[in-house]
Structure 1
Amino acid sequence: MKKLILFLFISISLLAQSKPYVLLVSFDGFRWDYMNRGITPNLEKIKKEGVWALSLQPTFPSKTFPNHQSIITGMYPENHGIIANSFEDKYKNEVYRMNDSNSVNNAKWYWGEAFWETAERQGIKTASYFWPGSEVKLSYRKPTYVEAYEHTRPYDTRIKGVIKWLQLPQEKRPHFITLYFSETDSKGHAFGPNSKEVNEAIKLLDEVAGKIFSKLEEINMKDSVNVIFVSDHGMTEIFKERVINVEKILAGYNCKFLDESVLMTIEPPKDKLKEVYDLLKKNENHFKVYYRHEVPEYFHFSNNYLIPSLVLIPDIGWNLLTEKGVKRMETVYVGGNHGYDNNHLDMHGFFIARGPNFKKNYFTGSLKNIDIYPLLCKIFNIIPRSNIDGKLERIEFILK
């Protein structure tokens, strides 16, 4: 009996050891070209030991919550349900807001299956040290281990938390972990992508990348963990004179403005829909207006009832604002923003991956963030959801 128990213990241990390890790290707002500034020695070293892409294309709109969901589900926002950082279900009079924990943790908003759900269902323990959607209240839809988001949590504490998980006994240890840092996004918004403050943020995150690998080396896991660095979007410079007051154009129409600054969505009174559309069409200057069903197919932003009736997309760097938004911009300096056309290179993020499953010193062109989910499934040799938009054939060539 003792021999049988020992055999089973050894078998379970070997099975756990044979499973890959993946650490998915998000550097929010880290633009594709930030590594070209000569201030990222750690990331330069990592990319030469692995794979790096020219850029990582986000989905539209190129905003934080929609794209973190696209990365983790392999779906366009119109399909995974998180169509913006904040939006409304007009039929149920309910609102999703990225800074409201009650809505963010409500599983009803998340239509896609996150990779941790796919992995857990197929016998792989997962963990999240911050990632939008990881804190949902339904236990079967979140990772085994979850840290509740705390914006001011020290970066070293986050890294230590991940290392602690990787030192758990084999049967308890997660094999897929997410990790999140916001520095380049915060500084990009406040000071603009070409500022010295953003350069300092880039240096800080480069140090974070170096610490991750030094800590992995301390626990003898540097060469057994696949570490994937991604960003959800890029950043472009903003100027106060590039402002369009949409509410002023539509004065007297009693429209509901559901988003603003970059992508703007509008719900006019039903009997005024065409009239409002026609008025906006006549005033098109540095923006385009579309009925929801006419949004260009390449944006993949029409097939969802949560998207309001009218969608306004500005030229890169221009701001679509309400009266309140115009006044706020006059008093609060905004140096950079994102959310624009995801085909514009300023909106692209970055992608670097190093580990036992990846090729070495391999440089490729732009990748799509919706293809990361099927890539993860390939690494773990598990079955992906059948309704994803991502395609393995566009990305699997970066694996050994």
Structure 2
Amino acid sequence: MKRLILVTLTLICAAFTLHAQDTTQQIVPGRVNSASNQTRPYVIMISIDGFRYDYAEKYHAENLLRLSGAGVRALAMQPAFPSLTFPNHYSIITGLYPAHHGLVDNTFYDRKRKETYRVGDTVTVPDGSWYGGTPLWVLAEKQKMVSASYFWVGSEAAIQNIRPTYYFKYHEKTSNDQRIQQVVNWLKMPEETRPHLITFYFPEVDHAGHSFGPESEQVRAAVLQVDSAIGKMADAVSKLNLPVSFVIVSDHGMTNVDTQHTLSLPDTSIVKALKVAPGGEKVLLYGNNEEEISTAYKFLKQNENHYTAYLKQETPVRWHYGQEDIYNRIGDIILVAEPGYAFSFSKRAMHVGHHGFDNNLTDMNAIFMAWGPAFKENTRIATFENVNVYPLVARILGLDITQPIDGKLEVLESILK
């Protein structure tokens, strides 16, 4: 059987950790804010990977509750399908569903390129040609507004030949205190070179959730660690007396799975004839012709075992997925595990915590919190889709959206002052 050699679950959980451990700041020379942009507000956009919608209350994240309590807090934020790290970080930063921006999974095959994109790959991840849409930092830089990124999916890649003015290659060597100080240092720069959009990423909660499950003491500790860091950052930034607003999001939630009764693909030549892009909660299968696809689908459908088999064109419309695959990167057949179950493609022990399931599953829900001069005070809103964050941040920064997106400003416009 011709299979793709793909990353293990461990790499998917860690998301970025195989990148070169270069801790130096990368700077694109010659960039300055236009005169009009020098008077614009500032946004610090923070992602807490794997921070489930209920973690703040469940684990008493005092700073997040206090700061968002005085600002805006959503009941939850719904991730795009699939509820995975790379697709959702990139949906938040582009305002597009995965099928429209091209990162359709953490690992997938591109028929036209005859190549595989995978998290942790030091060749594909920084290659800007894989990424569709216009990330917020690209939008900002095109409109003469300086941006900075202390990690975000896509920030290392030259998307449309543009990176943030200041960015870092992903690593986990630098302490949170050092990273917070870097944010402060950015905001202390002269107006001409000071970034107005800053993205920032915390991996700790996701790591703990995968290894120990969402109900664990380790997740509680990770939540409180990140909460403390955000409290320190907010306090340090407030002393600068700049119009800085904070937007706090996560990419997905987390749930427990049965690690003793794992799922596997049927051991048959019918399935072995397909290319396989494996994942714990979702498997993409690529066929060579219609007959091969039809035969495999019928077999998998008849032998469903704690998973559901879908033909690409018959996936639920609410996913905005198979039928909208403009890059032709989604498998011809998609297997989605039932909540509480996961596929295993490795002899290693399976992690207890998982995400990537149907995005209607409550445990997959993420967070949205915001505060600062751009936002109304003491405001609570209902659950909404994460693609709507993009037009919100663009409006705060005064950026013109120049390409069609899936997000709609009217969904969140009412939370702005």
Structure 2 length-normalised TM:
0.87
Q: Which residue of 2 aligns with 1:284?
A: 304
Q: Which residue of 1 aligns with 2:285?
A: 266
Q: Which amino acid in the other structure matches residue 255 of structure 1?
A: L
Aligned CA RMSD, in angstroms, stands at 1.8
Which of these residues, 330, 341, 356, is aligned with residue 307 of structure 1?
Answer: 330
Q: Which residue of 2 aligns with 1:152?
A: 173
1:228-267 matched pairs, under 5 angstroms: 228-248=247-267, 253-267=272-286
Aligned partners of 1:249 and 1:280 also within 8 Å: no
Q: Which amino acid in the other structure matches residue 402 of structure 2?
A: R
- How far is 1:39 from its partner? 2.2
* Runs of 4+, deviation exceeding 4 Å: 12-17, 249-252
- How far is 1:272 from its partner? 2.2
Secondary structure of 1:358's aligned partner: coil
Q: Which residue of 1 aligns with 2:215?
A: 194
Which of these residues, 160, 180, 197, is aligned with residue 201 of structure 2?
Answer: 180
Provide the C-alpha distance between the structure 2 equivalents of 1:122 and 1:218, rounded to a whole number of angstroms: 28
CA deviations over 1:228-260 (Å, ceiling 9, x no partner)? 110000000121234222143667743321122
**1:58–1:258: structure 2 CA closer, same or farther, 3 Å change rule?**
same
Aligned partners of 1:57 and 1:348 also within 8 Å: yes
CA deviations over 1:85-124 (Å, ceiling 9, x no partner)? 1212133221212101221111111011101111111221
Which of these residues, 404, 407, 413, is aligned with residue 387 of structure 1?
Answer: 404
Secondary structure of 2:267's aligned partner: helix
Which of these residues, 73, 81, 86, is aligned with residue 65 of structure 1?
Answer: 86
CA deviations over 1:352-399 (Å, ceiling 9, x no partner)? 101101011101111211001111121122221332111111111111
Q: Which residue of 2 aligns with 1:360?
A: 377
Q: Which amino acid in the other structure matches residue 393 of structure 1?
A: E
**1:386–1:269: structure 2 CA closer, same or farther, 3 Å change rule?**
closer
Q: Which residue of 2 aligns with 1:8?
A: none
Secondary structure of 1:284's aligned partner: coil
- How far is 1:40 from its partner? 0.9
Q: What stretches of structure 1 of length at least 5 have no aligned partner?
A: 1-11
Secondary structure of 1:212's aligned partner: helix
Identity, % of aligned pairs? 39
Q: Which amino acid in the other structure matches residue 381 of structure 1?
A: G
Matched pairs, number? 381
1:377 matched to 2:394? The reply is: yes
Secondary structure of 2:124's aligned partner: helix
Q: Which residue of 2 aligns with 1:6?
A: none
Aligned partners of 2:90 and 2:103 also within 8 Å: yes
Secondary structure of 1:219's aligned partner: coil
Q: Which residue of 2 aligns with 1:129?
A: 150
Deviates more, 1:133-142 or 1:42-51: 133-142
Q: Which residue of 2 aligns with 1:318?
A: 341
Secondary structure of 1:101's aligned partner: coil
Structure 1 length-normalised TM:
0.91
Provide the C-alpha distance between the structure 1 equivalents of 2:122 and 2:373, rounded to a whole number of angstroms: 37
Aligned partners of 1:290 and 1:311 also within 8 Å: yes
CA deviations over 1:31-61 (Å, ceiling 9, x no partner)? 0000122521111110122100000111000
- Specify which structure has the higher proportion of helix: 1
Provide the C-alpha distance between the structure 2 equivalents of 1:38 and 1:67, rounded to a whole number of angstroms: 24
- How far is 1:338 from its partner? 0.4
- How far is 1:217 from its partner? 2.7
1:63-142 matched pairs, under 5 angstroms: 63-137=84-158, 140-142=161-163
Q: Which amino acid in the other structure matches residue 172 of structure 2?
A: H
Deviates more, 1:198-207 or 1:244-253: 244-253
Q: Which amino acid in the other structure matches residue 108 of structure 1?
A: S
1:342 matched to 2:363? The reply is: no
Secondary structure of 1:290's aligned partner: strand
Provide the C-alpha distance between the structure 2 equivalents of 1:139 and 1:75, rounded to a whole number of angstroms: 16
Provide the C-alpha distance between the structure 1 equivalents of 2:149 and 2:34, rounded to a whole number of angstroms: 23
Q: Which amino acid in the other structure matches residue 296 of structure 2?
A: V
- How far is 1:79 from its partner? 0.5
Q: Which residue of 2 aligns with 1:293?
A: 313
Q: Which amino acid in the other structure matches residue 18 of structure 1?
A: T
Q: What stretches of structure 2 of length at least 5 have no aligned partner?
A: 1-32
